[in-house]
Amino acid sequence: MKASAGEIQRFLASLPAERVGDFASLAELPERLAEVCSRAREAWPALETSAENFLAYLAERSVGDKAPAAALEEFDAPGLYLACACASQEAPALRAFQELLSPYARSVAMRMGLSASDAEDLVATLSEQLLVGDGQGAPRIVQYQGRGNLRAWLKISVTRMALRRSKKHQKQQEVPEEAQLLPESAEDDLLLAYLRHQYREPFTAAFRQAFHNLSNDDRLLMRRKFVDGLTGDELASLHQIHRGTVIRRLARARQQLVDEIRATLVQRLKVSDDEVDSIIRVLRSQLDASFGSLLGVSASL
């Protein structure tokens, strides 16, 4: 199967300007677009959104510099198709989205100690925010970019609101020091605490791989800083380099770790950008403490 000339034209016209050339030069673009549409329609055969409208919606979210074929492959086509139809306020799509949202939202709300009436209010509020908006802007469903499963993106929205409303917060189960990826702090909000617990193991694996990819000199420098507790002046003296150079090297190594951890989590977990960015946001604010714990138990790296 191939996308029609009209569908291809609509797709290309809706792309960010800097991406038009990349996609236009893809020889198998008609087949690739048809495959994306096929995946979407197989999942939601009752939806009414046309292929042209869906491909335009997808094109608007084709940002970044990833190769066109890979970019099209990574989209959650069924999830984005449903989001597109919801953004257009199609009745079948709105019903389908409610069928996804309602049972999960009620389950999460009840687990967090909310009453039945509060759980119903949670469902109603989320439905309004995600599918209707506040009258001053588009509904929040349009923020879903299609990278990462729609259900994972929805999970974050449900969990965030349920946590904010819950009046019965149980203390997190204590974990051994070597498993504490991101230490608790008074500033952490409940959603980020949830994400720390949920993604502890994959984050540990991503950290280890990213740390292994640093140069030998950078690994040694970070160990002496975060495990041995040496100051910038002490590191400069020990390595016989200027203190400013020490600071720049540490900052560069930290940024490399953050970037590689983020890329690994996106690839392995297939979660939404919101989830990964939330994890990285905590990482940025708690980086020194996290490194001290993780590097201290990663002597074999």
pLDDT of 206 above 90: no
Dihedral of the alpha carbons of 18, 21, 23, 29, in degrees to the nearest 10: 160
Dihedral of the alpha carbons of 288, 294, 299, 301, in degrees to the nearest 10: -100
Which tokens in the block code for residue 156?
Answer: 């974050």
Listed by start position, the domains of the chain span 5-75, 91-165, 177-296
Q: Residue 85 phi/psi, 5° resolution? A: -65, -35
Nearest C-alpha neighbor of 26 from the set 51, 49, 3, 42: 3
Residues in the chain: 301
User: Pick the residue with more confidence: 301 or 45?
Assistant: 45
Helices 243-269 and 273-285 pack at an angle, to 10 degrees, of: 150
pLDDT of 183 above 70: no
**Average pLDDT of the residues of the chain:** 79
Which runs of E-coded beta strand occur in the chain? none
Q: Which residues pair with 75 in a beta bridge?
A: 147
Q: Residue 172 phi/psi, 5° resolution? A: -65, 145
Q: Which residues pair with 147 in a beta bridge?
A: 75
Residues 6+ apart with CB under 8 A from 131: 86, 89, 94, 97, 139, 141
Share of the chain above pLDDT 90, in %: 30
Q: Residue 144 phi/psi, 5° resolution? A: -70, 125
Please state the separation of Cα 39 from the chain's center in Å.
22
The CA distance from 45 to 187, in Å, is 45
Residues 6+ apart with CB under 8 A from 198: none
Percent of the chain that is helix, strand, coil (3-state, to 5): 70, 0, 30
Answer whether 257's CB lies under 8 Å from 210's CB.
yes
The CA distance from 215 to 280, in Å, is 22
Which tokens in the block code for residue 176?
Answer: 């051994």
Answer whether 98's CB lies under 8 Å from 87's CB.
no
pLDDT range class, residue 199, cuts 50, 70, 90 = low
Tell me the per-residue pLDDT of 224-280, one tens digit each, with 9 for 90 and over: 887 667 788 888 887 788 888 889 998 898 888 888 887 887 777 766 666 666 666
Tell me the per-residue pLDDT of 158-182, one tens digit each, with 9 for 90 and over: 877 777 776 444 433 333 333 333 3
Question: What class is the 177-296 domain?
Answer: mainly alpha
Among all chains, which residue has been given the structure tokens 């209010």?
121
pTM, two decimals, is 0.58
